[in-house]
Structure 1
Amino acid sequence: MSATTAEDLLTVLESFIGRLHCGIQTAGIEALIAADLTFSQMRTLLVLSQQPEPGPIHEIATRLELSVAAAGRNVDQLVRLGLVDRVEDDADRRVKRISLSGRGRTLIATFKDGQRRYALELLADVAERDARHLIEALRPVMAKLGCPEPGPAEISTASPPSPQLYHHRQEIPV
C-alpha cells in the first residue's frame, strides 16, 4: 500500500472510529444517567467492569487518577446504592476488595447493550458483501494488534456476524 493510500485510510478510520466512539458513549449513557450517578462514580463502575477480580481501593484510585480518599468516597456511595460489593481480603483484613455487585453488573450491561445497539444500527447500512470484505481486510491488522481470531461459529458466510463477534476485545480506558 502506498503512503498516500495509507494516509487516506487512516483519515477515514480516524473519522469513523471517533464518531463511532462518541456515538456509542452517548447511546449507552442513558442507563448511567438514569442511575443518577456522578461522572466519577460512573467511571468507577466502568473501571470495575474491566477488572476480572475484586481489587483494592488504591488500585482503583490509580486507574482513575484519583486520590485514595476520593476513590473511597465513590466506593462508599456505590456500596450504599447497591452497585458495588466491598469484602475483606482473605490474606489481610485491613484491605477491602471492591467489585461490581449483581445490580452494578446489570447497570453496566445495560450501558454496553445501548452501545452495541447504536453500533449495529450504523453497520446495518453496510452491504453484506462490503462487510465481508472489510472483515477480511481488517484480519491482518487485528492479528498485528494481538486480537484473537474469531472462530467459524462467530463469523459465518451464510449469516450476519454474531453479536459476540469480538467478545475478546480490549476495553477502552475510561
Structure 2
Amino acid sequence: MDVAAEVDLADVFDTFIGILHKGCDADVLDVFVSMDLTLTQVRVVFMLAMHGSELPINVVAERLNVSVATAGRTVDRLVTLGMVDRREDPDDRRSKLVSLTAEGRRLADTQREGMRERIRTFSRALPADVADGLREAVAAAIAATPEHLRAGAACSPDQVRTSS
C-alpha cells in the first residue's frame, strides 16, 4: 500500500471511529468525572476489563507505561473506591494481583454497552447493501490482522463473518 493510500485509509478510519464514538465518550467521561477518577485510574479499570483476569501490579505499570509506585498508588485509590481488589500472588508473596470488583466490572460494562448501542444504531441506519459490504470488508480486515494486534478483541474473524 502506498503512503497516500495509507493516509487516506487512516483518515477514513478516523472519521468512521469518530462517528461511532460521537456522544458515547462524553457520557462515560461524565460518570468518571462524577466519581473523581483520574485518567490513569480509568485506564486501569478498562485494561483489567479488556484483559479479563487479574494482573500483577508490575504488569499494570508496564502496560500503562508508569512506575510500579504510580501503579500501586492508582490501585490503592481504586481499592478504596471499591473498583478493584488486590491480593497476594500465591506463587510470589512479594507480588500483588489486581482484579476488577463487581462495581469495577459494572462500570466497564456500562461503557462498553453504551458503545455497542451506538454501533447498533449506526448499523441499523445503513442501507442493507452498504451494511453487507462493510461487514465483509471489516471481516476481511480482521482476518488479515496479525494476531498480536488482535489480542483482547471481543470476537474472532469467524464470528464477524457469521454475525448479522
Which TM-score band (shorter chain)? Answer: 0.7 to 0.9
**2:135 is the alignment partner of 1:135:** yes
Aligned equivalent of 1:158: none
1:118 is matched with 118
Separation in 2, partners of 1:67, 1:10: 32
Partner of 2:84: 84
Query: Which residue of structure 2 lines up, in the alignment, with residue 34 of structure 1?
Result: 34
Q: Deviations over 1:68-103 (max 9, x none)?
A: 111111100110111100111111222110011111
Runs of 4+ in structure 1 over 6 Å off: 3-7
Give the TM-score normalised by the residue count of structure 1. 0.74
Q: 1:12 is aligned with what amino acid?
A: V
Matches of 1:48 and 1:5, distance apart in 2 = 35
Match of 1:164 in 2: none
Amino acid across the alignment from 2:157: P
Evaluate the alpha carbon distance shift between residue 79 and residue 145 of structure 1 in structure 2; reply closer, same or farther with a 3 A threshold: same
- 1:58·1:68 contact (CA, 8 Å) conserved in 2? yes
Point out where structure 1 has 5 or more consecutive residues left out of the alignment: 156-160, 162-174
Identity, % of aligned pairs? 36
Query: Structure 1 residue 59: deviation in Å?
Result: 0.9
User: 2: CA distance between counterparts of 1:78 and 1:47?
Assistant: 13
- Higher relative contact order (Cα pairs below 8 Å, separated by 6+ residues): 1
Structure with the higher fraction of residues in helix conformation: 2
Alpha-carbon distance in structure 2 between the residues aligned to 1:102 and 1:63: 23
Are 2:52 and 1:52 equivalent residues in the alignment?
yes
Equivalent of 2:158, from 149, 159, 166? Answer: 149
Separation of aligned partners in 1, 2:98 and 2:68: 13
* 1:7-40 per-position Cα deviation (integer Å, ceiling 9, x unaligned): 7555433421344356543343333333321111
Count of residues in correspondence between the two structures: 155
Unmatched 5+ stretches in structure 2: 147-155
